[in-house]
A and B are shown apart, each in its own frame.
Chain A
Amino acid sequence: MSRKSYIGRLMDQKTLMLMSIPFVIWLFIFRYLPIWGWTIAFQHYRPGTGLWEQKWTGLDNFRLLFQEEAFYLVMRNTLAMSLINLVLGFATAITLAILLNELRSVLFKRVVQTISYLPHFISWVVASSIIVTALSIDSSGIVNLILMKLGLINEPILWLAEGKYFWGILGVSEVWKNVGWNTIIYLAAITAIDPAQYEAAEIDGANRMQRILYVTLPGLKPIIVLLLIMNIGNILESGFEPQYLLGNGLTADYSDNLDIFVLKYGIAMGNFSFATAAGVFKTVISIALLFGANYMAKRFGQERLF
């Protein structure tokens, strides 16, 4: 075949183009067009009027946002719940992975793993239904029942009716749902540790605990650092479903986060421009954090994320 022009060569790939271009068009409509929709954060958007006839208002929506007291409340809740989930999630998953690795029976280990994955696959609606039942004050509320049997409380507590318990309940719920699943990546990393290191530690007289502390944990360090950095970019993503499903009017001061704020102001109140401004704020901070984390990863000599 003689040398053809770029267009000529492209024409030879008609089938491949037909197989991919329609999806690229789909992608632009459904994934890129909404980004262009950020412009309504700088407008006073009125539904029913064309996008070109909207009134531009500059940064007014952002100014309103930063003056809004509720915004600072949801920011506090978002950061608090993110940090609790981050710390609890890491600590429990790493601990469980190490303990699973120490089990002697391969069959027993596999059974525990399979069962511990289950809650990850069920929906938050089902999980919330389970949590509401477990925390209820009637006699089927197992949590109150056990605490009363142990003599820790004298009468049942309405766990989901008081804001001060919400962050804790959410943290524990996230652990219940995801701890098993989150061990996968650590267990994969543990199998990559050179067995010779354990043998050397054994010969040096290290006991079980010392082998965990001085061989397993240092072996996990790179993956822990990498995952921590990745999660920093997600610090404003504190989740939406569990807060929405478990929260109620009584706990709103603690359960409402940035995503629920956007939903309330945007969809429920129809204040589209204001809610979009809050959404844009969240995305811009997240991208900045992601790039910052990537830079940090490079400085610490870790594999970069992208």
Chain B
Amino acid sequence: MKLTSRTRTAGDILFDIGNVVFMIGLMVVTLYPFANMLAVSLNDAMDASRGGIFLKPRVFTLYNYEYVLREASIFHSLMISVLRTVIGTAVAVFCSAMVAYTVSRPEYLLRKWVALAFILTMYFNGGLIPTYLLHKELHLINSFWVYIIPGIVGAFNIIIIRSFIEGIPDGINESAKIDGAGDFKIFMKIVLPLCTPVLATVALFVAVWQWNSWFDVFLYNSSNPKLSTLQYELMKILQTANGSSTQATIGDVLGGNQRGVAANQVTPTSIRATMTIVASLPIILVYPFLQKYFVKGMTLGGVKG
């Protein structure tokens, strides 16, 4: 709305200045906590406990990161986080696309029923306890697969992939059919490659969700440290910090995995700051480049949902 017909009044100019100042304030409030966490994580732990670290480390060190990556339990949880994100995303994208393809075929006799069965699940779910008991019955407790199998297909993902497939000219399918290609071959060779933009959107939604998950770890695998994830490890440290016991030692926090020497050089605060940065870094690095896919998926979902 560029209104050039009239000169800007004093009120207009004041409004513009106020608006820009407000936006700068918003950006500061959004970014400061991350910058502060980064500064604390790059500062010597003992020095940091004196306080007064804001945007710049006072005594610079990479020791906190070295400690976090060397501590076997934390490093292992990081690997599990990466693993569940990679596997979970690949499986979810492939399976959702496959179902979306079948319900986009106008000649498929079961398309309405398959679509309906999925869409209904958007409006209700069984709730925490029945789901928990089901997973227990299926021996998914104490297992890596509880991160993958319950989330392989989502109704929302199917909807946005299907609406994309329906935008592909039908002639491409028809000519492939005439050439003798079967449905699966058409899906793999033609539909999947053409769907890259929408698959990227879905992959991002799923990957962020997988990377950020901690509740399923807490609920199903909390007794098995080998299946812990980074977010869950951070959550445990956070619970100690937020609990009434502010005097928790690093030994309490890291569950007896600490070595005597190291315990003198790190504090729960510095470990928490470091893990907060490690847990958010992949997202901070990736999302600015991919936000247009996110926004597209969001507005599409809003219209079709």
Contact A132 B109 (CB under 8 A): no
Partner of A115, one of B31, B36, B37, B243: B31
Contact B126 A19 (CB under 8 A): no
**Residues in chain B near residue A198, CB distance under 8 A:** 1, 3
State whether A202 and B5 are in contact (beta carbons under 8 Å apart), knowing that A31-B121, A125-B214 are contacts in the complex. yes
Contact B99 A287 (CB under 8 A): no
Binding stretch for chain B, among A62-70, A71-79, A81-89, A133-141: A133-141
The verdict on B156 contacting chain A, using a C-beta distance below 8 Å, is no
Contact A37 B126 (CB under 8 A): yes
A276, B183: Cα distance in complex, Å: 43
Chain B, interface size category, equals: 35 or more
Binding stretch for chain A, among B67-75, B256-264, B283-291: B283-291
Contact B36 A133 (CB under 8 A): yes
Contact B1 A195 (CB under 8 A): yes
The verdict on A290 contacting chain B, using a C-beta distance below 8 Å, is yes
Contact A17 B33 (CB under 8 A): no
State whether A37 and B133 are in contact (beta carbons under 8 Å apart), knowing that A126-B280, A130-B33 are contacts in the complex. yes
Binding stretch for chain A, among B110-118, B167-175, B247-255: B110-118
State whether A188 and B299 are in contact (beta carbons under 8 Å apart), knowing that A140-B51, A279-B127 are contacts in the complex. yes
**Residues in chain B near residue A121, CB distance under 8 A:** 208, 283, 287
State whether A266 and B129 are in contact (beta carbons under 8 Å apart), knowing that A15-B184, A123-B279, A188-B299 are contacts in the complex. yes
Contact B19 A102 (CB under 8 A): yes
Partner of A15, one of B20, B40, B182: B182
A240, B275: Cα distance in complex, Å: 22
Contact A117 B133 (CB under 8 A): no
**Secondary structure class of chain B's binding surface, majority of residues:** helix
The verdict on B86 contacting chain A, using a C-beta distance below 8 Å, is no
State whether A259 and B51 are in contact (beta carbons under 8 Å apart), knowing that A118-B287, A132-B242, A184-B299 are contacts in the complex. no
Contact B238 A129 (CB under 8 A): yes
A129, B244: Cα distance in complex, Å: 15
Enumerate the 6 nearest inter-chain pairs by beta-carbon distance, A residue then B residue, closest first. A34-B126, A37-B130, A139-B51, A123-B212, A279-B127, A34-B130
Q: Which residues of A contact B (CB under 8 A)?
A: 6, 9-10, 13, 15-21, 23-24, 26-38, 40, 47, 96, 99-104, 108, 111-112, 114-119, 121-126, 128-130, 132-134, 138-140, 142, 160-161, 176, 180-181, 184-185, 188, 195, 198-199, 202, 207-209, 240-241, 245-246, 248-250, 259, 262-263, 266-267, 272, 275-276, 279-280, 282-283, 286-287, 290, 306
Known: A34-B134, A37-B126, A140-B269. 13 other contacts (CB 8 A): A13-B110, A15-B182, A20-B98, A33-B134, A104-B16, A118-B287, A185-B298, A240-B215, A248-B242, A250-B244, A276-B127, A279-B130, A290-B123
